[in-house]
Structure 1
Amino acid sequence: MKGLHAFVIGSEMSAGVRNVFVQNNKAHGYLKRGIYFKTNPDRGGYIKDIYISNLALGKVEDAFYITSNYHGEGSGFNSNVSNILIDKVTCKEATGTGIVIQGFSESKVKNVLLKNINIAKAYNGLSITNTENVIFDNVVIGKEAGIPTAVGKKAH
């Protein structure tokens, strides 16, 4: 994958996108976004039942960006973003944010599982707003935390 984004769904769509399976990909060169799902309240619709596995990203602005509030001018037709599984993704550096998920208070981004994610370096770690049932399993941004030190001992 090479270009502006590695993998993107949206924004100009009617009805929706569902049942997408992406596996075993590598991005080349600097990217704005690694994985980018974007909808807006202009027409509504949905992004759901998405599976991404084994994706290698280099240097990106944002590694993951899922938003229901992409540059739309309309209102009243909030989209449904749900049932997303992203597994086994590595990213060398996010110059912006590692993981962004933005829903609306009245239509939250739902049922997202981020599993086995390693973002080696990020300016900002997370920005998660208006979500429901977002699960992180084995997600590391920066260095993995070690064993906590005992009282009176210095960290290495």
Structure 2
Amino acid sequence: MRVYLPLTLAGLAELRRAGEAGPAPLAAYAVTPALREWYLSGDQEELEYAAFSRAAQAALRLLAVEPTVARRRVVLAADVPDGVAVADPDRAMDPEALGEVRLTEALPVSWFASVHVDAPDAESEIATAAAALGAADQGDDDARFVVDGAADHELLWYGVQEIDHLL
């Protein structure tokens, strides 16, 4: 199963140093039965993109609580064996938890498929969106507009062998 792990560049540096993402449990995103049900008309590629987008949103939340890290979202894609990614059945249909899974094991580098990172020129807008998250969560429509604007920045694709270059 392909999973998407939200990170920051500092988190990516730490997992590179450790040789794995962990320890478990880790929050990640994947194509779950609830996500399939929510996006009835989506094909597999669209569903994967939806799970990936949820991970990018979660990476923005990580930036909001870590004000000293570089303002670039990071999503690590990994292929995990069956049973490693588990959806919480109590939250399966919660719109806030769509696609969310818990990883029951640390992710070794051998499971990594790719890394996705904001371009450097997106940092300013991503920083503004991270700063606006609290107000958006409180119902501020202008802040929500700013936060939603972060999704306009596509994350760049990097091979796992390029992690050192990224850092």
Query: What TM-score, normalized to structure 1?
Result: 0.25
Pick the structure with greater CA Rg: 1
Structure with the greater relative contact order (CA < 8 A, sep ≥ 6): 1 or 2? 2
Query: What TM-score, normalized to structure 2?
Result: 0.24
Richer in helix (by share):
2
